[in-house]
Amino acid sequence: MKGITGKKPLKKGVTIFLVAAAACVILGVLLSRLIGNGDGTVVGERGKISIEDEYIGRLDISGTISESEGGGLLESDSYHHRWLLDRIEDMKSDGKNKGMILFVNTPGGSVYASDEMYLAIQDYRKKTGRPVYSYMASQATSGGYYISAPCDRIVANRNCWTGSIGVTMGTMYDVTEMLRKMGVRTVTITSGKNKAMGSPTTAMTSRQKKIMQSLVDEAYDQFVDIVADGRKLSRTAVRKIADGRLYTAKQAKARGLVDQIGTLQDAERDMKARFHLRGCKVEEISYDDNHGIISRLFGETVKRVFSSGIGGKSDIDRLKMLLEANQGFTVTYLSPTKR
């Protein structure tokens, strides 16, 4: 029948459309980087703060806190660590800057990156004497709370999740039994009995578990100290509420973890009134995250076009995936629950 075209031409047409659309998006990204946005917002990888009047900088801290620099074309994570640190440094040396509001919307991230951000915020506060507020949006958990703790005031959206004060090293897989059933033997050559601890092909000893736990415990103690110092609470009080659980905005306020439940505008008004900054404008300072725009526009459809499926794996394939997933472990201030 002439009217029937079949499925293959349709699939080909969709692919052509997606490729053409992606090309248009990339062209638009390039043009936007050349033209700029003209609204006072700092954008771009090499963006510098250039504001004529006195201002309060509103710094957007969104996405998983990591020392890596954001995602690729198909990824949408909007966190750019070095860029954010550079912007804090810019504001610190800018006489026109009169304060900083952190727009925090993150589940947390690595211990290293969270602490680097914390130290940069503390350095800004100590060297300038200017106020720093944290506005917690949808989520400010674990590392997100870690970087908020030293702020002069914390304002949480009424629907915000926060807390998750704790540390995780993730999941370690033990595939020794699976290997035994498959008749596979492994040999690992190391310079010491603890060099390969955490390897999925060797059962972890109780001593090695204690060693791993000590890494987590030290990072946890550091977190407790940060919260206690920032919120003027005793270490004992912090430990009682720092069991890793999530808190709603109301629950967090009742425990002294936040000062106020309100909107971003409430936070801005409070800073201006409390620190006599009514004449200052609030300038948004955020990374123009065009790298992840394809993911945001086309979502999983594009990802399926450019990535292979993971279904129908054999036992060998699944074993390989487990081994690859177990290559390294990062101690993190990261909530496993994301909004």
Q: Is 232 part of the annotated catalytic residue set?
A: no
239 residue type, one letter: R
Rounded distance, CA 186 to CA 224, Å?
Answer: 41
Given the residues 126, 127, 195, 320, select the one marked as catalytic.
Answer: 195
Length of the chain, please?
Answer: 339
Architecture of domain 36-166+235-292+330-338: Alpha-Beta Complex (3.90)
pLDDT at residue 319 tops 50: yes
Question: What pLDDT, on a 0 to 100 scale, did the predictor assign at position 316?
Answer: 66
Q: Is 206 part of the annotated catalytic residue set?
A: no
Element housing 119 (H / E): helix 111-128
**133 DSSP β-pair partners:** 101, 153
* 103 closest CA partner among 163, 156, 31, 169: 156
Q: What is the pTM of this model?
A: 0.77
119-177, pLDDT tens digit by residue? 999 999 999 999 999 999 999 999 999 999 999 999 999 999 999 999 999 888 888 88
Can you tell me the mean pLDDT for 227-255? Answer: 98
237 residue type, one letter: A
Dihedral sign, Cα of residue 283, residue 43, residue 84, residue 134: positive
1-54, pLDDT tens digit by residue? 444 444 455 555 555 655 566 556 555 544 444 444 434 455 545 567 889 899
Given the residues 62, 142, 164, 286, select the one marked as catalytic.
Answer: 142
First to last CA, the chain: 50
3-state SS, residue 224: helix
